[in-house]
Structure 1
């Protein structure tokens, strides 16, 4: 009897102990330190995106304003349809701009540039194929009234205004002269309004298509055909032909006359000569200053002479292109001083100064009395 009583009490004690342990375990699971889903914020790591190289050391500051306040950071090139207003912005408190030069040449009122507190703004209304070109901006670093360009911030984008009826970028010049020099590449500037257009180069006489090998002659849609090492054999009349998938008839560009240049770059090569170095009173003589130079290089003349500020003289300036040798073209510029009714004050030294963008040259001759 005692044995069964003891055995029953032992079983009861074990059941009580198991119940207590389970209760403690359940309380721990429902405790305050339980991690509930959605409560803890996990730190999200995003993959790093490599910035597209814009040609500058930092990130491009040039953006296009889209509809509804959206912005597009611009890269090397952009193709747009003509007609829709273009708005560009550059971040900075003082911004400089560059754009196709003809917009300044013709003082185009479609172009508007404004400086706001935090950004510069360029707006071009009703853009057309002729507005195709490079648009760029940069930060200006100013010290008082003097400002300089921060070259590390320059951002540039070549914008094509694609026009199915204008395959070449229109030009106001219908016949353009291109000068070929042996010391640097030459460019035939038949640019297109769509980089996908196929372009070929043609010579008029003899009529032929010029082979483009990508080395000696190559094509860049933002510049045109580039001749790396010009020579006399490249001179002549040329034109470009464009073929489009939407047009069956090819389009012909402006015509280009290529002239080979003999005279290298540098200060004017000048000479001076008097019609007579010995004259008598009452005679008429002239002094001629002559410069041979590059075909497109402008030359200005100035004079110093014995009767300056006391005697009226007649000075005539002129220039023309001449051929020297086989295939060589040179610009010859003249400045002629005419002295009428010679007086004693006219005897002495005549000095001509010829000046171009590379420097200046002084030449002199003397006129004396014949008596």
Structure 2
């Protein structure tokens, strides 16, 4: 004790006592914090976000269950059958999804704009729903609205089905056009990115070598031929090997045709059955377009007796082979004039139009007298 009757503690003992006391408080504090941290991690699973390829700027999320969300990245694999709900942040949102859902006006798909987000719900999803789902912010200035390109978020979603290795198609025999100026794709997409796929030609029967350069495979697109040539034409199919079954699965068949005519406005010609006709004769004028096999062409006519004389107009198209291994679409419109009168003499103008532009061609029909 000191002079005032207070016990004196040695400095060394006092220092140790204080340290022990602080340490005990720190341990108690850590025990109180740790459980809270575990609960936060369980509520927002960072591992799942990483697996999904999450990007910080993505506005697209999947609703897992009440109060839990997964920010989506490049791809995601889901089991079929369970309702899928996606959300996109924003007060005015646009969506894109596999086109066949629109083609068949599928009632399983619904989109609703809420106050702060847009909601896409797909009930009973199947392997056929595998594809890219994306959303973006729509910017409007009065009645004019545009897509905000910087806000687009996209995710390729696989609905993995052990019985459907390939994404089902409504077409059982599909035609693929090969062009020398751009890559071609044999679209045998799979429902699971881990499935091994090979490309096969029917005649001669052989497996096509995939070198990753000239021919490569992308599970979201199919086999990509970088520089198509006539030697690639023929009938093909894809084969997928399941991890659970010994028997491989075969895809839709594909007929690869080599295209001669390049892209562009219609290449049109016009010809009359006779340039000189007499009163009472019958003649016709044919407008012909050679173009890409899948390119639709529309025709319209202007002629001397238009609106006053009855005429017959017939449109048609077919695929033809030109040279060795070249396929072209020939589209025609024929105008027929019966029992020629004076008003029928003059210029016949044919306007042809496709998505690349339009071409006008004309010919003149004269009187024999």
- Quickly name the TM-score band, shorter chain normalised: 0.7 to 0.9
CA distance in 2, matches of 1:52, 1:310: 72
CA distance in 2, matches of 1:158, 1:366: 56
Corresponding residue number in structure 1 for 2:96:
98
Q: What pairs with 1:249-288 in structure 2 (closer than 5 Å)?
A: 249-288=247-286
Confirm or deny that 1:188 pairs with 2:199. no
CA distance in 2, matches of 1:267, 1:82: 44
Corresponding residue number in structure 1 for 2:18:
none
Confirm or deny that 1:221 pairs with 2:219. yes
CA distance in 2, matches of 1:267, 1:321: 18
| Displacement after TM superposition at 1:54 (Å) | 9.4
| Displacement after TM superposition at 1:355 (Å) | 0.4
| Displacement after TM superposition at 1:78 (Å) | 0.7
User: Which of the residues 339, 360, 366 maps onto 1:368?
Assistant: 366
Corresponding residue number in structure 2 for 1:7:
none
User: Which of the residues 208, 211, 215 maps onto 2:209?
Assistant: 211
CA distance in 1, matches of 2:125, 2:269: 50
Corresponding residue number in structure 2 for 1:8:
none
CA distance in 1, matches of 2:275, 2:360: 19
| Displacement after TM superposition at 1:312 (Å) | 1.0
Q: Does the aligned pair in 2 maintain the 1:139–1:149 contact within 8 Å?
A: yes
Q: What pairs with 1:87-236 in structure 2 (closer than 5 Å)?
A: 87-236=85-234
- Residue-pair matches, total: 349
Ranges in structure 2 where 5+ consecutive residues have no aligned partner: 16-21, 31-45
Q: Does the aligned pair in 2 maintain the 1:58–1:152 contact within 8 Å?
A: no
Q: Does the aligned pair in 2 maintain the 1:178–1:188 contact within 8 Å?
A: yes
CA distance in 1, matches of 2:349, 2:245: 62
Report the RMSD for the aligned CA atoms in angstroms: 3.0
Q: Does the aligned pair in 1 maintain the 2:53–2:72 contact within 8 Å?
A: no
- Residue deviations 1:53-92 (CA, integer Å, cap 9, x gap): 9999961111111123311111111111110000000010
- Secondary structure, aligned partner of 2:66: helix
Tell me: CA distance 1:16–1:229, structure 2 relative to 1, closer, same or farther (3 Å): closer
Q: Does the aligned pair in 2 maintain the 1:259–1:328 contact within 8 Å?
A: yes
| Displacement after TM superposition at 1:344 (Å) | 0.5
Corresponding residue number in structure 2 for 1:314:
312
Runs of 4 or more above 2 Å deviation: 15-23, 35-38, 51-58
CA distance in 2, matches of 1:194, 1:338: 56
Ranges in structure 1 where 5+ consecutive residues have no aligned partner: 1-14, 30-34, 43-48
Q: Does the aligned pair in 2 maintain the 1:262–1:329 contact within 8 Å?
A: yes
Higher Cα Rg, which structure: 1
User: Which of the residues 351, 354, 360 maps onto 1:353?
Assistant: 351
Tell me: CA distance 1:189–1:171, structure 2 relative to 1, closer, same or farther (3 Å): same
Corresponding residue number in structure 2 for 1:4:
none
CA distance in 2, matches of 1:211, 1:185: 17
- Secondary structure, aligned partner of 2:95: strand
- Secondary structure, aligned partner of 2:270: strand
Tell me: CA distance 1:68–1:315, structure 2 relative to 1, closer, same or farther (3 Å): same
CA distance in 1, matches of 2:321, 2:181: 19
Q: What pairs with 1:38-53 in structure 2 (closer than 5 Å)?
A: none
| Displacement after TM superposition at 1:145 (Å) | 2.2
User: Which of the residues 338, 354, 357 maps onto 1:340?
Assistant: 338
Q: Does the aligned pair in 1 maintain the 2:52–2:76 contact within 8 Å?
A: no
Corresponding residue number in structure 2 for 1:45:
none
CA distance in 2, matches of 1:249, 1:54: 31
Corresponding residue number in structure 1 for 2:35:
none
Q: Does the aligned pair in 2 maintain the 1:353–1:362 contact within 8 Å?
A: yes
